[in-house]
A and B are shown apart, each in its own frame.
Chain A
Amino acid sequence: MVKITVALVSTLKYAILTLLLAFVLVPLLYVLVTSFTPLEDIGKSLWPERFSLRNYQVVLFESNFLRYLYNTVFITVIVTLGSMLLDSMAAYGFARIAFPCREALFLLVVAMLIMPGEVLLVPRYILIRELGWIDDYKALIIPSLSGAFAIFFLRQFLLSLPKELEESATMDGCSRFRIFWQIVLPLIRAPLFTIGLMTFFGTWDEFLWPLTVINSPEKHVLQVAVSQLDSEFFNDIGAKFSNVVLSSLPVLILFLVVQKQYVRGITSGAVKG
């Protein structure tokens, strides 16, 4: 009797997990299959009789897709590297260097964590307009170069490390910048990598802000371009879906490569507290 119950529970467990697997995968597979279906066959049946690369040809060679991809990669890479540098510098300053108003300034950084970007959308837009950065990538890059959470996170990590290594380097006459570059950065590379990943995925997904400050179609980032597929392709579902596949592929591949660090990054805040 116990055996039967155990077997039943186990079967039920796998049934639920498989059902959820279908819940996630079936829509994705449908998108993938449709993206390889010739235009005239779409909607006729769930599994097409013929496959074609036409949708991908349209998106890759007859639309601005590659341009948008390039724009997105360009902005994401600069923001990621730049914010990794500025945030780790600030974290080091707050953790290790005694200067006036340090605590007050750090408190200010922490206070910024509660200010959602959506709330600041309008005054930020006004500021960008006054700076003359509308339709300019500076508006997408420069405001994102520092993040309150990253500074907080890296400072916490630095405070947990012993100071001895840095102190003996000071004794050897190293300048603070060399200490930062050659000792501190290698020490914090694991959390820094995590922060970099979070920034990368966050910047890649950014939608509301580029939608607001970038006007010229050729300067759009992928997310904004995808949101406007209806006006670009109308009823061409095949082209839309191949666009969807191509826009997701880079982040999906990156995720599969760095899955461990990525998951560690999102869980570190919740579990350790």
Chain B
Amino acid sequence: MEQTAPRSQTVARKRMTVNRWSEIRDGWIFVSPALAIMALFVVWPTLHLFWMSVHEYRFAGGVQTATFIGLENFVDAWEDPLFLQTLWTSFYFPLVITPTQTALALFVAVLLSQKVRWVGLFRTVYFIPVVMSFVVVGMFWKEMLNTNFGMVNQVLGMIGIPQQKFLTDPEMARWSVAMISIWKSWGWYMVIFIAALTQVPQELYDSGNIDGTNAWQRFWYISLPMIRRAMLFVIIISTMNCIKLFTPIMVMTDGGPANATKTIVHYIYTTAFRMGNFGNAAAMAIILFFVILCISFIQYRLLKKEG
């Protein structure tokens, strides 16, 4: 073995030089199908997005028009109160959902990481809403939150609480969408916390026990610092998903009532596909992109400081 290994390597190297061109060819053959698709459906649309954003780009009645107008689409966006409102709504959801969801997921993960009977059952059931699609979840919650016929108001009525306008009152509708989003997704984050917690070496807890720490101290000084990476991951993913929230809004409220739940993605969608104003939608998409970029940059810096 000791002799053949270096010999075989020289043979291999010789073969490599002989087959240099075939290697290049093979390399391209292997990566080009995936790269071609990405070039066409990611790189090109990215470039086109910037081009569209500086044009008056409309599509109406089968006729497409594009006139260069500089930064007017961006100016329009900033002068459009509805756009600013949707931008704020897009911040509102992560601000409400992410902390609540992270706290709930972490709390339950800590509970389930201890000796608990039927741990598999709890974990599986908590995860069921994650597996269901957001459209399905939005659909049946919309029925259940119906003001007049919904099951939730029916139950509230039995204990003497008056009907709530879950999806027809602007402030209430935001809350409902946020709560449904948490109901659907928290299990996903819980599973990540459980995985992170199982990686914490048992010795750390053992030495903690010797020092006479209580459960709360063990959590605060041992578990939490050890899972900071998973914590940041969860916060980043959750923030991104909430900023881009679209599906439950489309299904449950269609942005209403009175645009209270209209997020930026929903506005991009309606501006382009209901009003045919593609240039404006492109400018909004770019603004969304830079918002996401800024947040990922800040979060990346935090992550790096960890590392």
Q: Point out residues on A near B: beta carbons under 8 Å.
A: 13-14, 16-17, 20-21, 23-25, 27-28, 30-31, 34, 43, 46, 86-87, 89-90, 92-94, 97-100, 102, 105, 108-109, 112, 114-116, 118-127, 142-143, 145-146, 148, 151, 167-168, 170-171, 176, 180, 201, 204-205, 207-208, 211-212, 222-224, 226-227, 229, 237, 240-241, 244, 247-248, 251-252, 255-256, 259, 263, 266-267, 269-271, 273
Partner of A93, one of B31, B108, B268: B31
Closest to B124 in A: A259
Given A43-B154, A120-B42, A126-B52, A13 contacting B111 (CB threshold 8 A): yes
B136 at the interface (CB under 8 A from A): yes
Knowing A27-B140, A46-B155, A93-B30, say if A17 contacts B199 (CB, 8 Å).
Answer: no
By the criterion CB–CB under 8 Å, are B27 and A119 in contact?
no
- Mark contacts of B168-212 with chain A using CB atoms, 8 A cut-off: 1 yes-contact digit, 0 otherwise: 000000000000000100011001100110010000000000000
Query: Does B247 interact with chain A (Cβ within 8 Å)?
Result: yes
Name the distance in Å between B91's Cβ and chain A's nearest Cβ: 16
Q: Do residues B30 and A226 form an inter-chain contact, with CB atoms below 8 A?
A: no
Partner of B48, one of A123, A252, A267: A123
Chain B residue at minimum C-beta to C-beta distance from A27: B144
Best-surrounded residue of B124, B135, B240 (most CB of chain A within 10 A): B135
Besides the known contacts A24-B187, A99-B26, A146-B37, 11 further A-B residue pairs in the complex with CB atoms under 8 A apart? A17-B116, A27-B183, A89-B31, A90-B33, A99-B28, A114-B296, A118-B285, A143-B41, A146-B35, A207-B247, A271-B196
A226 to B39, CA, bound (A): 33
Q: How far is the CB of A256 from chain B (nearest CB, A)?
A: 8
Residues from 146 to 163 in B contacting A, C-beta threshold 8 Å: 149, 151, 154-155
* Set A89, A112, A212: member contacting B30, Cβ < 8 A: A89
- A86 and B141 form a contact (CB under 8 A): no
**A146 near B34 (CB under 8 angstroms)?**
yes
- Classify chain B's interface size: 35 or more
Say how far A37's CB is from chain B's closest CB, in angstroms. Answer: 12
Q: A28-B128, A267-B192, A271-B195 are in contact. Are A123 and B31 (CB under 8 A)?
A: no
Are B46 and A120 in contact (CB-based, < 8 A)? yes
The answer to whether A171 and B38 touch across the interface, beta carbons within 8 angstroms, is no
Pick the residue among A20, A24, A145, A248 that contacts B136 (CB under 8 A): A248
CB-defined contacts of B149 to chain A, threshold 8 Å: 43, 237
Residues on A with beta carbons closer than 8 Å to the beta carbon of B128? 24, 28, 252
Shortest CB-to-CB span from A96 to chain B, Å, is: 9
Instruction: List, in ascending order, chain B residues with CB within 8 A of A176's CB.
Output: 26, 30
| A114 lies within 8 A of B42 (CB) | no
- Judging by beta carbons under 8 Å apart, are B191 and A263 in contact? yes
A81 to chain B, nearest CB (A): 14
Query: Is B305 among interface residues, defined by CB-CB distance under 8 A?
Result: no
Minimal Cβ-Cβ distance residue in A for B293: A114
Contact B12 A112 (CB under 8 A): no
**B258 contacts chain A at the CB level, 8 A cutoff:** no
Check B233–A269 contact: CB distance below 8 A: yes
20 A–B pairs (Cβ distance < 8 Å), ordered by A: A24-B187, A92-B30, A99-B27, A118-B246, A120-B45, A120-B49, A121-B285, A122-B268, A122-B278, A122-B282, A125-B273, A146-B33, A167-B9, A180-B30, A237-B143, A251-B132, A252-B132, A255-B127, A263-B191, A270-B233
Q: Which of B9, B135, B289 contacts A119 (CB 8 A)?
A: B289
In the complex, which residues of chain A have a beta carbon less than 8 angstroms from the beta carbon of B35? 90, 105, 109, 146
Q: State the CA gap A269–B237 with chains docked (Å).
A: 11
Check: B229 CB closer than 8 A to any chain A CB: yes
State A86–B31 Cα separation when bound (angstroms): 8
Question: Chain A residue with minimal CB distance to B151?
Answer: A30
Chain A residues contacting B37 (CB-CB under 8 Å) are 86, 142-143, 145-146
Partner of A21, one of B41, B122, B292: B122
**Contact A255 to B131, CB < 8 A, known contacts A25-B125, A127-B44:** yes
Say whether B139 contacts A115, CB under 8 Å: no
The chain B residue with its CB closest to the CB of A43 is B149
What B residues does A148 contact at CB under 8 A? 38, 42
Scan residues 1-34 of chain B and give those whose CB is less than 8 A from a CB of chain A. 8-9, 11-12, 15, 23-24, 26-31, 33-34
